[in-house]
Amino acid sequence: MKVIVKENYDEMSHQAAKIIADLVKSKPDCVLGFSAGASPIGTYKELVRMHREGLDFSAVKAFNVDEYLGFGIDLSKPYDRDRSFARFMHEELFRHINLKKENIKILDGLAKEPEKHCAWYEEEIKRAGGIDLQILGIGRNGHLAFNEPGSSLSSRARIQALAKETLDDNFENFFKKTGIKRQEMPRLALTLGIGTILEMRHLLLLANGKKKANVVAKTLEGPITSQVTASALQLHSGKVTVVLDREAASKLKRQKISSSSSRV
């Protein structure tokens, strides 16, 4: 596992985007896994900038790691009212780069048979050859994707009930400003499992801010436990890169600060 600590969010985002861009350049038909949330927004902005400067996504295949059950992309709604993760990825990244529509696979929160849909999605990942690099955020309670505390570390794609901490954070960060009432928020989600995530070749975890410092320390330096599902990163047999800003890294006992802010 490689942990990179940058001075601030912008430098963290530059570093993460460079890692992704280097893969796209070396393997143009790579399979990328994406995540919604606040942490990767800066990284996606950097990828858009790099695309405008020549980075080619035309052969890349894309998957998303999770979605709210009952939500799906609705371009007829304004972005601040459509809180699906599919819409998030469309607005923050996909519509700005030359990723082909047929190469995008996203968990469908509107699927009529969500359990069968999850099984189909796992098979689609296998048919694509597996995910080369998966971008991940981390919840305040240590969840990866929507694998809440108590999730099996061998779990597969499934329906997941959302924990109180996740509901609280999602309401404050995403739903409150839309006018959606707390009781109207989705309480279930579709998510790839921890077992699925551990099969991916390269995991790229992003975290920023003081609120993430405690859980980052538990994830990287604490025991492996289903109560902090992100700690399963320690079990990954392939490549794991963790990119943090200084605040998110502040509780780590061992850290190396890299102040470089150079862009590709």
Residue 98 known to be catalytic? no
Of these residues, 64, 141, 147, 208, which one is catalytic?
A: 141
Regarding beta strands 202-207 and 31-34, do their DSSP bridges make them parallel or antiparallel, or are they unpaired?
Answer: unpaired
Residue 66 known to be catalytic? yes
pLDDT of residue 258 exceeding 60: no
Between the CA of residue 114 and those of 67, 153, 168, what are the distances in Å? 11, 21, 25
Q: Nearest to residue 147, comparing CAs of 185, 107, 111, 190?
A: 190
Tens digits of residue pLDDT in 43-99: 999 999 999 999 999 999 999 999 999 999 999 999 988 889 999 999 999 999 999
Topology given in CATH for the domain delimited by 2-245 = Rossmann fold (3.40.50)
Is 34 in a helix, a strand, or coil? strand
The phi, psi pair for 204, rounded to 5°, reads -120, 105
What pLDDT shows up at residue 188?
97
Band of residue 256 on the pLDDT scale cut at 50, 70, 90: low
Of these residues, 46, 92, 132, 148, which one is catalytic?
A: 148
What pLDDT shows up at residue 257?
45
Of these residues, 143, 169, 245, 247, which one is catalytic?
A: 143
Q: Bridge-partner residues for 3, per DSSP? A: 242
Q: Nearest to residue 34, comparing CAs of 62, 1, 12?
A: 62
pLDDT, mean over the chain? 94
pLDDT of residue 141 exceeding 60: yes
